[in-house]
Amino acid sequence: MMISLFIYIILFLFSFGQLARISVWNQTVNLYPYEVIMFGLLSFFVLNFKTKPLLELYKKLKLGFYFFSYLLITFFASLFFFSPLANLVAFLYLARLSLYFLFFLYLLFYLKNRADVARSLKKGFYIFAAIMWFATVAQLLFYPNLRNLIYLGWDPHLNRAFSVFFDTSTSAAIFGMIFLYFYKKKKWLVSVSFLILFILTFSRSAYLVLSATLFLDLLMLKKLRNLIFIFLAAIVIFLLVPKNFGVGVGLMRTFSIYSRLADYKTAIALWEKSPIIGYGYNHIRYLKNEAGILNHSAASFSSSYLIVLVSSGIIGLTLFVGALWQALVTNKKVFVYLMFLALLSFSDNIILHPFVMMTFGVIAVIDFCYR
């Protein structure tokens, strides 16, 4: 009963997104309240199950363990090249990444033969989805841009659905996963409602990636005819949704392309100086500071793969891609979500974003519990 209550609290707090963020050291470190409860629950799970969930998963996803082990090795190898504060911040990033991975691994192990708690997780996710839908509609109506937060490094995202996450790419990833979940469950009304929100992010890369993901999934299921109906529905929705003034809602905009290309060049230039082991996960904030690049995503690049490449070098990227591929080919339950995130991560930091990891983890555990 208590575990179910904690799950509800975690998902409720998560629904506040950036609104609940606690920042310290001049926004160098950001913490979300739901992560504190996740850490407490994980500690409880570890005390009860020890290393059993780890050993069980190791048999199925060895490359994932090698990747995390290599991140830890490169982190310690880089300690002498950065200040104590930089190393502390980098360690917190690594700890957060490990927290999400371990929490959902242990939660899934705990939910075996606990159908009541699994139902609570599913209900909690449905409540979260409902809150997201209403919060996003409210944002579009009453808070259509982030212009007042430009001084903090946020993009204005004028007349686009950025929801409580303050970012259209992150929102598109989360709305896309929720759409895919309800689409796979054949809950058509709910799936269409989130497809509308997804389209209102006006994220072109997300449009392309969702189309490619659906094509691959339906091709494997030999249901390509369904793709025609989805595309027609998406086109009709796009034509009908309001497109108020703003460069961001234009599909022919070019400024975001040039900014991403500049970001890619910066990442490659940094990687070339330490191509094998990188700089340790995650010292990117301090590398960017030295280069005079300051924004809300100071600890990342416009691609999750570039973050891994710069942080852990070519070896780390190889292990990361290998782990993703291993997860894709061995877990049909999460294939469509993981493929969507893996492709979208080429154009932005998606798969390593805490809000995205949280949403994916919840959906994945639910799907594994309801085979």
Cα distances (angstroms) measured from residue 167 to each of 156, 172, 174, 237: 9, 9, 11, 21
Predicted structure pTM score: 0.93
Confidence label for 243 from pLDDT (cuts 50, 70 and 90)? low
Residue 151's CB: how many other CB atoms inside 10 A? 7
- Residues 73-94: tens digit of each pLDDT: 999 999 988 989 889 999 999 9
Q: 281-290: b or e for each residue (b if 16 or more CB lie within 10 Å)?
A: bbbbbbbbee
Q: For residue 222, is pLDDT > 70?
A: yes
- Residues 246-271: tens digit of each pLDDT: 555 555 565 677 788 888 998 999 99
Mean pLDDT of the chain: 89
- Residues 96-133: tens digit of each pLDDT: 999 999 999 999 999 988 888 999 999 999 999 999 99
pLDDT recorded at residue 13: 97
Find the mean pLDDT for residues 195-220: 90
